[in-house]
Structure 1
């Protein structure tokens, strides 16, 4: 919708028609002393998703937090009839930063397992990710160099410290271009 009806419909057909996805059931088991700990217990450290978009259903336990543009953590309260939709790194690069990949984490506050169901939508592996000129806009510069989807996924997977550690590298690190006085997302 932010791209305009006609632009969105046309680009959907040319850019997103061969996307694929996968569904993941995630079970977060808290440490036995989670309720006694003074510090925040992260079930999954701060990260961005590698996908175009991620659709999440979370159980009633809660714990999902998003980081605002100002850097503050905001609780995403579970609601039985709602899904959470995150913009991922691939969409951030494809949209030339017009859509920002959401930094998020899961925190554990109770001595119960937290379960979520996440669907990740990705471009096909060999697709070249490059913002279309009409998305970049006349007189604007591209913020990301062209890259294959599979190359970025390999980059992220090879730079993860551990399965549930904080992820320090994003699409900006992988394909971001140096721009003079830029407000990169």
Structure 2
């Protein structure tokens, strides 16, 4: 497709800048020294993906053997996500674990920002990774038959530098009195997490 490569690189650069601003805003919000979070992120490790979910019969999902994406948390620092208006993305309701709420797109330029596992570790659990899934859109939730339309999303996964610590920042340990997560590099954590998944 003509211009696709250039468009993708431009989107990557724009999202890289936006994610640095978000991480900088978190540093300010938590009264952290400038660079406390941003210095742990790596420009070259971030990932931009284009996800296509093919159309699927509602009956297949209702049988419980398949889903578009099962409940999970993302491994990185934060995820910046754009989605079409098909629906199906849901976030776990922390007040009612195991129950999910739809994440409805307001407009095409809207970006969802999801806390991921590494940021949860850095904040010693103060910010928790968002459990999310992709399933049947809300308007088809109680349907027995029908076709769930194809869906497209564009996630940008912000990753930690592989040599950076994946342990909690001292400021968050002091606040709670105990480190909830052990000290290890981001690469060690990534490898440990992937080994558990597979």
Scaled to the shorter chain, the TM-score interval is 0.7 to 0.9
Q: Offset at 1:48?
A: 0.2
Q: Which segments of 5 or more consecutive residues in structure 1 lack a partner in the other structure?
A: 162-185
SS at match of 2:187: helix
Q: Is the 8 A contact 1:59 1:116 kept in 2?
A: yes
CA distances 1:16-49 after superposition (whole Å, capped 9, x unpaired): 4667311011111233x32686456620000000
Among 35, 55, 61, the alignment partner of 1:30 is 55
Among 158, 163, 167, the alignment partner of 1:130 is 167
Among 159, 165, 178, the alignment partner of 1:141 is 178
The two structures, once aligned, show a CA RMSD in angstroms of 2.5
Aligned counterparts, 1:1-185, within 5 A? 1=25, 4=28, 6-7=31-32, 9-12=34-37, 14-16=39-41, 20-31=45-56, 33-34=57-58, 38=62, 42-70=67-95, 71=97, 72-79=99-106, 80-109=108-137, 110-138=147-175, 140-160=177-197
CA distance in 2 between partners of 1:123 and 1:14 (Å): 9
CA distances 1:118-177 after superposition (whole Å, capped 9, x unpaired): 00011111222222211222561110001121222222323335xxxxxxxxxxxxxxxx
**TM-score using structure 2 length:** 0.70
CA distance in 2 between partners of 1:146 and 1:58 (Å): 35
CA distance in 1 between partners of 2:33 and 2:192 (Å): 29
**TM-score using structure 1 length:** 0.75
SS at match of 1:157: helix
Q: Which structure has more strand as a fraction of its residues?
A: 1
CA distance in 2 between partners of 1:44 and 1:17 (Å): 27
Aligned length: 160
Distance of aligned partners of 1:63 and 1:8 in 2 relative to their CA distance in 1, 3 Å threshold: farther
Q: Offset at 1:76?
A: 0.2
CA distance in 2 between partners of 1:115 and 1:16 (Å): 27
Q: Which structure has more helix as a fraction of its residues?
A: 2
Residue of structure 2 in register with 1:178 after alignment: none
Q: Is the 8 A contact 1:3 1:135 kept in 2?
A: no
SS at match of 2:101: strand
